[in-house]
């Protein structure tokens, strides 16, 4: 009956019976081709609508370095204005913690300093902003007035340092080591916030990301020391596991960060 209905609406015979076999007529063959094309297009339509739904209501899970937390929430705020119905979970941890997130593949995207060399093959990473590490002191510190201080002269100074596993700590130790200089470490602290407070209180010098001290510079609570070979030039990367199937919203965030790149650097 269905075949009959189809032939009636096409006003053409679509099948012919020869003996016990049924064959497609020329009209039937054309109809078959178009029907296949239509089914394919319907699948595509559904896929596109799902993507759109995903962009409106999807979940985004990102992990950022402790230091990146000074700018990441501002970026997220702008992103959420574009996609107000998405749900974001933000994990803030040090470099070691970020590497674990990448190994466990339990977040969509990671914002970190230099990605680990031993994972280069497994990661897709793009630079999106500079991350200069500067040396800071209390404004009353005798070095605060000097210019171009040779790093060697600072060997006897006590430095407040981040915990082991921090990218900032790793970069600062490497910087001294490459110049065959000793770094005298004082108190170990797990956030840039604590280091800034310690430096203001005169407990020692510190090396922190320039992003973390904007407010203290404006309020003249900290000074950036003019030291040769400083700032240590680092970069921020947006990273995901190679081959990871990013959700539409994660893809949108990836593009958003890279689009923002120029404004952020200026
Ligand atoms: P952090 O920063 O681990 O010192 O917080 C990340 C990085 O600079 O790699």
Residue 41 scores a pLDDT above 80: yes
**For residue 150, pLDDT beyond 90:** yes
The CB of 166 under 6 Å from ligand 1? The reply is yes
Q: Sorting pLDDT into bands at 50, 70 and 90, what band is 48?
A: confident
The burial of 89, by beta-carbon neighbours within 10 Å (0-12 exposed, 13-18 middle, 19 or more buried), is given as exposed
Atom of ligand 1 at shortest distance to CA of 168? 4
Write the pLDDT tens digit of every residue in 90-145: 999 999 999 999 999 999 999 999 999 999 899 999 999 999 999 999 999 999 99
Pick the atom of ligand 1 nearest to 96's CA.
3
212 lines ligand 1 (CB under 6 A): no
* pTM assigned to the model: 0.77
Kindly report the average pLDDT of the chain as a whole number: 91
> Percent of the chain, pLDDT > 90?
74
- Position 205 pLDDT exceeds 90: yes
Q: What is the pLDDT of residues 252-266, one digit of tens each?
A: 999 999 998 766 554
Neighbours of 102 (CB within 10 A): 23
Average pLDDT over residues 24-34: 94
Tell me the pLDDT band of 58, cut-offs 50, 70 and 90: confident
Residue 234 CA: which ligand 1 atom is closest? 8
pLDDT at 3: 85
pLDDT in the model for residue 262:
60
Nearest CA to ligand 1 atom 2: 167
Confidence of residue 152 (pLDDT cuts 50, 70, 90): very high
Mean pLDDT of 215-233: 96
Q: What is the token pair recorded at 262?
A: 């120029």
Ligand 1 atom closest to the CA of 131, numbered from 1: 8
CA atoms of 58 and 75, how far apart (whole Å): 18
pLDDT of 151 over the 70 cut = yes
Would you say the CB of residue 134 lies under 6 angstroms from ligand 1? no
Q: How far is the CA of 145 from the centre of ligand 1 (A)?
A: 29
Residue whose token pair is 């020329």? 26
Stated length of the chain: 266
């Amino acid at each position: 009956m269905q075949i009959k209905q189809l032939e009636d609406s096409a006003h053409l015979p679509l099948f012919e019976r020869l003996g016990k076999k049924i064959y497609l007529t020329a009209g039937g063959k054309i109809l078959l081709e178009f029907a296949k094309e239509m089914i394919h297009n319907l699948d595509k339509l559904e896929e596109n609508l799902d993507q759109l739904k995903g962009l409106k209501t999807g979940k985004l899970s990102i992990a950022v370095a402790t230091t990146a937390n000074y700018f990441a929430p501002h970026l997220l705020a702008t992103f959420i204005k574009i996609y107000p119905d998405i749900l974001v979970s933000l994990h803030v941890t040090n470099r070691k913690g970020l590497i674990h997130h990448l190994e466990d593949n339990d977040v969509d995207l990671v914002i970190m300093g230099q990605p680990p060399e031993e994972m280069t093959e497994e990661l897709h990473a793009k630079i999106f902003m500079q991350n200069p590490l500067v040396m800071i002191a209390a404004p009353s510190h005798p070095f605060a007035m000097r210019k171009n201080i040779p790093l060697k002269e600072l060997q006897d100074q006590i430095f407040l340092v981040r915990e082991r596993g921090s990218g900032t700590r790793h970069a600062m130790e490497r910087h001294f080591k490459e110049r065959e200089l000793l770094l005298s470490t004082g108190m170990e602290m797990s956030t840039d916030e604590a280091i800034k407070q310690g430096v203001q209180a005169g407990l020692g010098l510190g090396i922190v990301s320039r992003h973390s001290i904007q407010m203290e510079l404006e309020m003249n609570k900290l000074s950036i020391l003019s030291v040769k070979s400083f700032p240590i030039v680092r970069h921020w990367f947006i990273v995901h596991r190679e081959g990871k199937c990013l959700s539409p919203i994660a893809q949108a965030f990836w593009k958003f960060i890279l689009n923002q790149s120029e404004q952020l650097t200026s």
